[in-house]
Every structure is written in C-alpha cells, then in structure tokens.
Chains A and B, each alone.
Chain A
C-alpha cells in the first residue's frame, strides 16, 4: 500500500463530528498527506434573513446562529446597533452581560473538554467533565430560565436582573467548578496516555498562527497575544478586566491548558463583578429606526474573535449584517497542520480549534 493515495471521507455523517461537515483526508497508510474542507451543511441564510427582519427580530435571529455561543452573538449585535444609535447600555446591564458571557465561556470550555477527551478515546474524562458542566447549566437556567439560548440581551440593555439569592447560588457553583477545573488541569498535564495523544501533536508556531489568521485560544496557545476582551474592551471589561492567558508551547496540550486556565480567569472575574455590581436601570430606550451608518462590533466568543459588521440605511431593517465567526478563521490552521500527522490525530486536531459548524455556516 505504499505510495497509494487513499481518500478517507469524514462526514457529513460521522461519529467524530457533532455537526455535519465534509473533510477529505488524503492518507498514505496512516500518514496524512493533505486535507480539504467543505462546509455549508447547516447553512440557513441568516445574513440574508437579517435584511428582511426588524432590528429587534434580528436580535433573536442572531442568538440562534449557534447554541453554544448564542449570548455573544446577540451581544455583538446589540452592541453594534447601540453604537449606531449612539446609545450606551447602562452599567448594570453591561455587568450582567459580562457575567452571562463568562458563564457561557465556562460551559463552552467544559463542553469542549469532554468532546476533545471523547475524540481521544478517554471516555471517563468526557463523562466527568459533562457531569460538572451541569452545574454551570443549572446556574444559567437559574438566572435566565434557559439552559441554552439565554436571551439575556435587549437592544439597549438586558432582560433580567441577578438577585442577591441568585448571586449566592452562583458563587457556590463557581467554587465547585473551580475545584473541578483544578483536577482536570492535573489530568491534562500528567496523564500519560492523554499526553501521548496531545503533546507535540498539531504543533503551530507563532509565525504560522499569525500568518494563518488564527484567533482565540487556538492563537493564544501558540503565543499570539490576541484577545478582544483585553485589546478592545466591551461590555464591562474596562471596569472588570481579564488577564490574557497565553502559552508558548503551540501544540494540542497547550490548547487544553489555555482553555482551562481561561476558566479560572472567568471564575475570578464573575466573582469580582458579583461582589461589586453597579446599581442602575437595566435597559435604555432605543429608537425604532436606527440612524444610517456602518459599525464594526467585535467580541471574544469562547472560540475566538467574533466580528460583526452592521450597515444601517436609516430604516427599521438593517441593510447588511455580516457575521464572521471565529471557527471560520481557525480552519486554515487545521488544513495547514494536518499533513504529516497520523490519521488518528485528525479528530484531535479538528477538536483542538473547537469548531462550531453552526457558527461557520450561518
């Protein structure tokens, strides 16, 4: 079988993929020689649909681009529209937005930990991390009424408040999660079989990461200091900043470590906000017709930088809403690092960038 070019199709239906997409992996035995990608299996035409809905309807539409990072989509959209209207959300609303965003980051990273462990064949870690993720889901349900699609944002503020009793429950839950994330960090750094699957795999140097336009934890694991929360603070990040978590290692293990360390930062900043919550109203009035203009709105989703470009023609519907999701920017890194690896590493490589196909396809 030497020298024979063999194509292994992965997807659209495949146990490794949680959402449909199509990869063609060219292999020679177990060695990968190339990879191509085809997206679009969950393309719903959301950008076009946004042009036919009012601003408020679009808020609900944007939330549904993705289930795991729905809050940041709505947040980016709401911020953009507020900027066009020249309105700033009140301090308490911005703080609550940040709390929900960081809780979402926690649940997303725990979900990702389980999925990546499952790709490595480490089902025990998968089951444990998802069990612990239930604590975060319960907290989000406590605050918003939903486990997914929290619908926290309104154009001009937030929909609900965080009461004192909820605050106590959240802080308790965070204590538990912090302990568990310490444990998982230990597992990721010391388990021999797991290290065998992650150390040295998917090595992405800093220059490569910059050249390929990587964003989010994928880039930060290769030493690229890009984090929208630090570079261009939004919501309440200027009052309650986060530290950027960067690693110089550049391989798959570094991506695990970066995401788990980010969980600690999220927990810390949520505690800080809850203990110092500013007092104000929850929402300000927004006009129905948004003045004409163009605005760029960037937020840091759990997967990386989320880029919104909104054009208003002065009416009650947007002219154009462009969404560039972080997974789309990170695909280049997978396609570039795949050759030279073994077939068994491909699911791990793909999982390493935390792909979200619903986000990609919109």
Chain B
C-alpha cells in the first residue's frame, strides 16, 4: 500500500513525527507489561510511558558541572532526530517507505547507530565516573554486535538482490519467509536487536546495580525524555526491520501489528530468561559466536544462489 501525503505531513505527523512517538510509547508499554507478566508482576497501565514522558519533560533539567554545555543540549536532539529520520525509510505500519533510494538499508542502520553513539558521547563528555564507565561499555557493545547485526540484515538483502529496504520488503512478501530460509540469520538479527536496544541480557551499559544508569546518569528532565523517546522509537524501527526482512515483509497495518508484536513477545521472553552478561562476556559472545553464525549464514546464502544459478 502506498500513501501519497504532503512531505511535511509525512515528516511531522504520519508515519513519522507524532504518530511515531505515540507508537514508540505504545511499544514501550507492551514491552514493559509483557516483561512484568513474565516475572509474575502486574506491570504498568497503558498510559504509563506517556505519563513518564510528560513528567520528564516538565522537570527541571540539571546541567552538571564540568560538562560540555553545547554537547549536553545537542546530543539528545541528535539521538531523537536520527531515530525519527530512520523511520522514513522503513515500511512503517505496513505502508511503503516514505522515501526510498538505493542503499537506504545502510543509511538506516547508520542512523540507528547514531543514536547509540550519541548516548556514548553524552556519557563520555561528563566527569561523572558512572557515565564514563557506561559510555565505554556502550561503545564497546556497539563494536561487538554491529558487525553480526549488519551481516544478519545483509542476508535478506543478498537474497532480494537489492540494498533498498522497499525492494527487500516486496521480495520478502513474495517468497518463502526468511525465518525459514535463513534461520541462523534470523536468530542473529533478533539477538542483535536486543543488543542494539541494550535490553537485558545486554544491558551492561546501563547496569543499574553497578553504574547507576550508565551513560545517561547525569541526564534529567528534557534531555533524558528525548533520549528515552529515541530509544523507544528505535525499538519500533528495529522490530519493523527484522519483521520486514524475516517474517515475510509488512504489507498492511494489520500485518505490521501482528508481526511486530509477535517479535516483541519473543524479545520480552528473552529478556526475562537470562541474567545480565558482563561486558567482556558480551564481547566474547558476539565476536566468537555471533559473527561466526552470521558469516556461516552468508556463506550458505551465497552458495545457495550459486548452486541455484548452476542448476537452473
């Protein structure tokens, strides 16, 4: 389905901007509620993330001493902006991506990384010990899962013979679900998504019991609200990408909701199953197992295509 709207509407209201923010909050609610139920708790009510956002925006922003003021104010904006921009290239709500061009897969992944980088920089530019350790961990984790995650997203791209997310989405809709055709890739992509979003067990960068809140320790009020919003939107976009690639593409709003929420259920389940991994265990896991699995999957795809051209 395509929607022809004025670019400004796309940018600010639907499917970007306002709608995206609300979607982010809704997904955060579902995630928190699912995790709570798995832990035998009750969990928050539906408007909790919205209430948190409003509360944070209305609180005083405390600028700590010794911080770079310009960076301090700008980095949350960068984070939110990059997340919002990345949404323009993915099939949000099952509609065709608002903008599409050759190679927009790489751009989208890069934009998502800008968000993580902003958080790392935000932590690194203060004098707070906890933020510095958190920033180090954020960036270390970024180096670990980025390669396997990209490789896992590359698999469907190779199968679809295109670098455009729109085309890959079309391809996925017309063929066998990649979940079945490239199961290893799916696994790496799903777990990589959890690493990207810093969800447990990969939440070492913001380990509450060790370094308070990691890179974002010094943030409060508006800055914290924007960072959190950026993370929520990243959740939606990440789920959309993985669902579009591996779960047979997103072609209608109903499709979108079903598949992304299904993925979210799997993600929430994995969150509760494991203890937090130490940062060195995260790096070891990704560079040893994650990368090898992703490479195996790629080799399998390439070999498969080669054999396919030989046979047919």
Q: Do chains A and B touch in the complex (CB under 8 A)?
A: yes
Interface residue ranges, A against B (CB under 8 Å): 1, 6-9, 14-16, 27, 29-30, 117-125, 127-128, 131, 191, 193-194, 196-197, 342-347
A131 to B278, CA, bound (A): 27
A16 to B209, CA, bound (A): 4
A127 to B209, CA, bound (A): 16
B126 to chain A, nearest CB (A): 14
State the total of A-B contacts with C-beta under 8 angstroms: 80
- In the bound complex, do residue B209 and residue A9 qualify as a contact, i.e. CB atoms below 8 Å apart? no
- In the bound complex, do residue A131 and residue B40 qualify as a contact, i.e. CB atoms below 8 Å apart? yes
The residue from B212, B275, B278 contacting A14, defined by CB atoms under 8 A apart: B212
- In the bound complex, do residue A121 and residue B207 qualify as a contact, i.e. CB atoms below 8 Å apart? yes
- In the bound complex, do residue B200 and residue A118 qualify as a contact, i.e. CB atoms below 8 Å apart? no
The residue from A127, A196, A344 contacting B210, defined by CB atoms under 8 A apart: A344
Query: Which residues of chain B are within 8 angstroms of A128 by Cβ–Cβ distance?
Result: 39-40
- Flag whether B220 is at the interface (Cβ < 8 A): no
New A-B contacts (8) at CB < 8 Å, excluding given A121-B275, A124-B39, A342-B278: A6-B129, A8-B211, A30-B280, A121-B200, A121-B201, A197-B275, A343-B210, A344-B207
Q: Which of B200-220 contact A (CB under 8 A)?
A: 200-201, 203-204, 207-212
Query: Which residues of chain B are within 8 angstroms of A346 by Cβ–Cβ distance?
Result: 210
Q: Which of B276-295 contact A (CB under 8 A)?
A: 276-281
Given contacts A9-B129, A16-B210, contact A122 B40 (CB under 8 A): no
- In the bound complex, do residue A196 and residue B275 qualify as a contact, i.e. CB atoms below 8 Å apart? yes
Top 5 closest pairs, chain A to chain B, by CB? A121-B276, A122-B275, A127-B39, A193-B274, A16-B209
Q: List 22 A-B contacts (CB under 8 A).
A: A6-B129, A8-B129, A8-B133, A8-B211, A15-B212, A16-B209, A118-B209, A119-B209, A121-B209, A122-B275, A124-B272, A124-B273, A127-B40, A128-B39, A131-B40, A191-B274, A191-B275, A193-B275, A196-B275, A342-B278, A342-B280, A344-B204
Closest A residue to B132 by beta carbon equals A6
- In the bound complex, do residue A15 and residue B129 qualify as a contact, i.e. CB atoms below 8 Å apart? no
- In the bound complex, do residue A120 and residue B276 qualify as a contact, i.e. CB atoms below 8 Å apart? yes
- Flag whether B163 is at the interface (Cβ < 8 A): no
The residue from B41, B129, B276 contacting A127, defined by CB atoms under 8 A apart: B41
- Flag whether B38 is at the interface (Cβ < 8 A): yes
A7 to B277, CA, bound (A): 23
Query: Which residues of chain B are within 8 angstroms of A196 by Cβ–Cβ distance?
Result: 275, 277-278, 281
Query: Which residues of chain A are within 8 angstroms of B136 by Cβ–Cβ distance?
Result: 1, 29-30
- Flag whether B130 is at the interface (Cβ < 8 A): yes
Digit string of B107-147 for contact with A (CB within 8 Å is 1, else 0)?
A: 00000000000000000000001100100100000000000
Closest A residue to B204 by beta carbon equals A344
A120 to B276, CA, bound (A): 6
B204 to chain A, nearest CB (A): 7
A157 to chain B, nearest CB (A): 40
A112 to B201, CA, bound (A): 21
Digit string of B19-33 for contact with A (CB within 8 Å is 1, else 0)?
A: 000000000000000
A172 to B280, CA, bound (A): 45
Given contacts A343-B133, A344-B210, contact A117 B280 (CB under 8 A): no
Given contacts A15-B212, A16-B210, A124-B38, contact A345 B278 (CB under 8 A): yes
B216 to chain A, nearest CB (A): 14
Interface residue ranges, B against A (CB under 8 Å): 38-41, 129-130, 133, 136, 200-201, 203-204, 207-212, 272-281
Query: Which residues of chain B are within 8 angstroms of A191 by Cβ–Cβ distance?
Result: 274-275
Closest A residue to B203 by beta carbon equals A121
A29 to B200, CA, bound (A): 22
Given contacts A14-B212, A15-B212, A342-B278, contact A123 B207 (CB under 8 A): no
Given contacts A14-B212, A344-B207, contact A122 B274 (CB under 8 A): yes
Query: Which residues of chain A are within 8 angstroms of B211 by Cβ–Cβ distance?
Result: 8, 343
A345 to B277, CA, bound (A): 11
A350 to chain B, nearest CB (A): 10
- In the bound complex, do residue B210 and residue A117 qualify as a contact, i.e. CB atoms below 8 Å apart? no
In this complex, which of B41, B133, B136, B273 has the most chain A Cβ atoms within 10 angstroms of its Cβ? B133
A125 to B274, CA, bound (A): 9
A197 to B278, CA, bound (A): 8
B121 to chain A, nearest CB (A): 16
A11 to chain B, nearest CB (A): 11
Query: Which residues of chain A are within 8 angstroms of B210 by Cβ–Cβ distance?
Result: 16, 343-344, 346-347
A252 to B20, CA, bound (A): 45
- In the bound complex, do residue B275 and residue A117 qualify as a contact, i.e. CB atoms below 8 Å apart? yes
A345 to B40, CA, bound (A): 27
Query: Which residues of chain B are within 8 angstroms of A123 by Cβ–Cβ distance?
Result: 39, 200, 272
In this complex, which of A124, A128, A197, A346 has the most chain B Cβ atoms within 10 angstroms of its Cβ? A124
The residue from B39, B129, B207 contacting A7, defined by CB atoms under 8 A apart: B129
- In the bound complex, do residue B207 and residue A30 qualify as a contact, i.e. CB atoms below 8 Å apart? no
- In the bound complex, do residue A347 and residue B209 qualify as a contact, i.e. CB atoms below 8 Å apart? yes
Closest A residue to B278 by beta carbon equals A344
Query: Which residues of chain B are within 8 angstroms of A119 by Cβ–Cβ distance?
Result: 209
Closest B residue to A130 by beta carbon equals B40
A194 to chain B, nearest CB (A): 5
A215 to B274, CA, bound (A): 31
B140 to chain A, nearest CB (A): 9
B192 to chain A, nearest CB (A): 17
- In the bound complex, do residue B276 and residue A122 qualify as a contact, i.e. CB atoms below 8 Å apart? yes
Query: Which residues of chain B are within 8 angstroms of A27 by Cβ–Cβ distance?
Result: 133
Closest B residue to A201 by beta carbon equals B278
Query: Which residues of chain A are within 8 angstroms of B272 by Cβ–Cβ distance?
Result: 123-124
- In the bound complex, do residue A194 and residue B209 qualify as a contact, i.e. CB atoms below 8 Å apart? no
A120 to B201, CA, bound (A): 10
Query: Which residues of chain B are within 8 angstroms of A342 by Cβ–Cβ distance?
Result: 278-280
